[in-house]
Structure 1
């Protein structure tokens, strides 16, 4: 099948592999994007990307906290200009607060009553007509604790409670509020930077682990090592993947040596109270959304000799 410039560009964006390597990978896998990513990784030509696709959508991620519950929402727009619009920012703030009551149900959020009347979906339609640009209510999630604190953090905030990365951290325990808030802020900043995929190793997606295992097996086979050594290489790769992608085993970005589980335990010991990291949510604007850039695709076509 003919490999298009757009396919080459998408694979290059997702893997940072060379243009010709991307073209070859797509050729070897009959244009299957996911298989091409795995092919490049097996050959050692691509980094182990965590995200499902290139982050490209505009808009804002908004967070809201009420007592021991927090909510995060993502609302997209066509351009970054809209994200700076006061009307759009007010809408994001209002929707984040409403999200506290829907427990992650995006349809229920769309149907929720908006403060000025009508539903969230109707207000969104009105905003589209008024601002003159398409917008969408993409996703929402909540975290909560019975006793303790939920702490929010927005990286590079465009306005209070909203920006391009929003994080919620749920800390269960009987430590004082100031202690939980300080610890939660540090953990949230770590989560924003390190992008863990689950709270602990058991929470990592089983299909993802299996995919990593198949890639590790292919690499081990290509190494030419004896079977018993190859098996140890595979298990070592999986153990490393779990450690690097589960929050509790990640090394704290503040010192790059202390596991997050130990950071929490140390804070609890110092406070003389119980503290458990119960849950977290991390939304990054545009995760998994691909936005076309036709000019660059034409550049790839010229260099790679494929059809645009």
Structure 2
């Protein structure tokens, strides 16, 4: 077996970002040829990324990229919040967001095929990052919003909001974006609530009201009141203003002759079912395997 020097291992680590033992093994398999070792690692990156793809990536970051009257929100997932703060992950996520915005696309397949640089596509850069970091990383979804006035707000890494509005000023726009981040409305006003969602909530409210056993006229009032309460909770203009709970958002907008046209809000991990770890069971299984 070819003797591998520490300096050669160090050079391969600096060029690939991989661990010492992985670099040493790759150099041994390549008989000390560093360029061949790099080629082999790039090839094996596909297999390594495929193995990691089965791991649930429910953490990550929301990135906001903006150019003039157009903004894009992008969710890039990883497995842990530690990696979400890693510089390599951050550089990748921000660059992908800029590329998606520049190419005006929210389609993940199209984003993955975009040229990332150095002859690699976004997907190839993602695979290389999985190999380097050792976690499953996925470009999950993107949203684009346009408007003459755009306000954005990011709460930590996990929530991103962009609001399109008219009138008012930058300060108002930012506060409305914070409002959307905090209270998560589903529409600007009642007219914007999707019909299927309203119908489902109405059915639930109606069933509960009828179960009360009260007279029909009272049940009718309970249903009307319940629907209005629901709409107040989920529509932006009817929510209590995040900066002053004594006011509604709609009142604040009206006072400044402003209007919210639309908004987009993304939160990391929405709809992803995280794996529930049972460490006691893991330890028991490990002990059983050791005795076998």
The TM-score normalised by the length of structure 2 is: 0.71
2: CA distance, partners of 1:124 / 1:231: 56
Instruction: State the distance in 1 between where 2:107 and 2:61 align.
Output: 19
1:224 equivalent among 208, 213, 216: 213
Give the greater-gyration-radius structure (CA): 2
Question: What is aligned with 2:228?
Answer: 239
User: Secondary structure at 2:144's aligned position in 1?
Assistant: strand
Match of 1:153 in 2: 153
Question: d(CA) in 2 for partners of 1:248 and 1:87?
Answer: 40
Do structure 1's residue 165 and structure 2's residue 159 form an aligned pair? Answer: yes
Q: Can you list the C-alpha shifts for 1:194-214, whole angstroms capped at 9, x where unaligned? A: 111112212212222111111
Matching of residue 62 in structure 1 with residue 51 in structure 2:
no
Specify the alignment match of 1:87 in structure 2.
88
Equivalent-residue separation in structure 2 for 1:115 and 1:68 (angstroms):
26
1:99 aligns with 2:93: no
Give the CA RMSD over aligned residues: 2.0
Q: 1:284 to 1:297 in 2, by over 3 A?
A: farther
Tell whether 2:133 aligns with 1:144. no
How far off is 1:182 after superposition? 1.2
In the other structure, the counterpart of 1:111 is 113
Quote the Cα distance in structure 2 between the aligned partners of 1:237 and 1:72: 34
Residue pair 1:65, 1:151 contacting (<8 A) in 2 also: no
Asked whether the 8 Å contact 1:165–1:284 carries over to 2, the reply is yes
Query: 1:130 deviation in Å?
Result: 1.6
TM-score for the superposition, normalised by structure 1: 0.68
Alpha carbons 1:143, 1:281 under 8 Å: kept? yes
Distance 1:103 1:248, change over 3 A: farther
Gap change, CA 1:240 and 1:84, over 3 Å in 2: same
Give me the whole-angstrom Cα distance separating, in 2, the residues matched to 1:137 and 1:193. Answer: 24
* Structure 1: 4+ residue segments shifted above 3 A: none
Paired residues of 2:105 and 2:111 also in contact (CA < 8 A): no
Question: In structure 1, the residue corresponding to 2:214 is in which secondary structure?
Answer: coil
Q: Where in structure 1 are there 5+ consecutive unaligned residues?
A: 1-55, 157-162, 269-274, 299-308
**Deviation at 1:119?**
2.1
The aligned residue for residue 122 of structure 1 is: 124
The answer for the alignment partner of 2:265 in structure 1 is: 282
Q: Which runs of 5+ in 2 are unaligned?
A: 1-56, 282-292
Tell me the number of residue pairs that the alignment of Structure 1 and Structure 2 aligns. Answer: 224
* Counterpart for residue 173 of structure 2: 184
How many Å apart are 1:82 and its aligned residue? 1.0
